[in-house]
Amino acid sequence: MSKANRLAVFPGTFDPITNGHLDVIKRGMRLFDELVVAVGNNPEKAAMLDAKTRVEVVRQSTVDIPGVRVEMFSGLTIDFAASVSATVILRGIRDSSDLHFEYDVALTNRVVAGIETVFIIPSTEHAFTSSSLIKQIARMGGDVSAMVPPAALPHLKACCNAPGPDNTLNE
C-alpha cells in the first residue's frame, strides 16, 4: 500500500470530544495521510449532545489538523469504513478494560470485514479522560475546561450549566 492510500477511520460518539480524543487524532495523523473522524451513535448510551452538534464541535476542534475530515455515520463501523475506502480503524486504549473490549471488536472486524485496527495509547495526561467522566463532572457543576477543547465548553455549559475555569458561568 502506498502512503497515499493510508486512510483510517476513528469512530466514536464524541459526546463530548475530549482532549484525549484530540491526542489520538493528532498522533494518528503521524501514521495516516487522512483520518475520517466518524461521529456515530451508540444505542447503549444516551447522548448528551445531539449528533449534529457533536459533528460541528469535532469539526471546530480539528479544523487546524491537516488531513482530518469529520463525518456523521450510523450503523456498523465496518460498513462506514468500507464506504469511505478506509483500510484501518483507529482506536485509543486507556486501560486494560478498553484493551479487553477493543481486542474482541478488532478481531471480529478483521474476520467479518478484513479491516485492521490500530491502537494508540494516549499521552499520560489524557489516560484518565473519558467522555462519561466529563459528562458526570459537568452535570454536577464541575470545571471540565482542562479536559475538553474550547469548542465543546459552550455546549456542555448549555446542557449542564458547567462552570468555566474561574468556576463561574461565562455566558
| Residue 107 in this model has a pLDDT that exceeds 70 | yes
- Reduce the DSSP state of residue 4 to 3 states and report it: helix
Instruction: Work out the number of other CB atoms within 10 angstroms of the CB of residue 122.
Output: 21
Contact (Cβ atoms closer than 8 angstroms) between residue 169 and residue 163: yes
Catalytic option among 45, 74, 85, 100: 45
- Reduce the DSSP state of residue 57 to 3 states and report it: helix
Please state the length of the chain: 171
> Is 131 one of the annotated active-site residues of the chain?
yes
Q: How confident is the model at residue 168 (pLDDT cuts 50, 70, 90)?
A: very low
Question: Can you name the CATH fold of 3-129?
Answer: Rossmann fold (3.40.50)
Chain centroid, CA 72 distance in Å: 12
**Residue entry with cell 455549559:** 157
> Is 100 one of the annotated active-site residues of the chain?
no
Q: How confident is the model at residue 105 (pLDDT cuts 50, 70, 90)?
A: very high
| Residue 108 in this model has a pLDDT that exceeds 60 | yes
Task: Please tell me whether the peptide bond between 165 and the residue prior to it is cis, using omega within 30 degrees of 0.
Answer: no
161 vs 139: which has the higher pLDDT: 139
> Is 94 one of the annotated active-site residues of the chain?
yes
Give the torsion sign (CA, 100, 37, 64, 15).
Answer: negative
Contact (Cβ atoms closer than 8 angstroms) between residue 169 and residue 157: yes
pLDDT at 167: 40
35 vs 139: which has the higher pLDDT: 35
For range 76-91, the mean pLDDT: 97
- Reduce the DSSP state of residue 155 to 3 states and report it: helix
Please state which of the ranges 1-10, 37-46, 106-115 shows the lowest mean pLDDT.
1-10
- Work out the percent of the chain whose per-residue pLDDT is above 90: 76
For range 57-62, the mean pLDDT: 98
pLDDT at 162: 44
For range 32-38, the mean pLDDT: 97
Please provide the DSSP assignment of 102-154 as one string: HHHHHHHHHHHH--EEEEEPPPGGGTT--HHHHHHHHHTT---TTTS-GGGHH
Catalytic option among 61, 91, 126, 131: 131
Whole-model pTM: value is 0.89
Mean pLDDT of the chain: 90
Catalytic option among 21, 54, 135, 155: 21
pLDDT at 4: 52
pLDDT at 56: 98
pLDDT at 42: 85
Catalytic option among 27, 94, 110, 139: 94
- Reduce the DSSP state of residue 39 to 3 states and report it: strand
Please provide the DSSP assignment of 78-97 as one string: HHHHHHTT--EEEEE--SHH
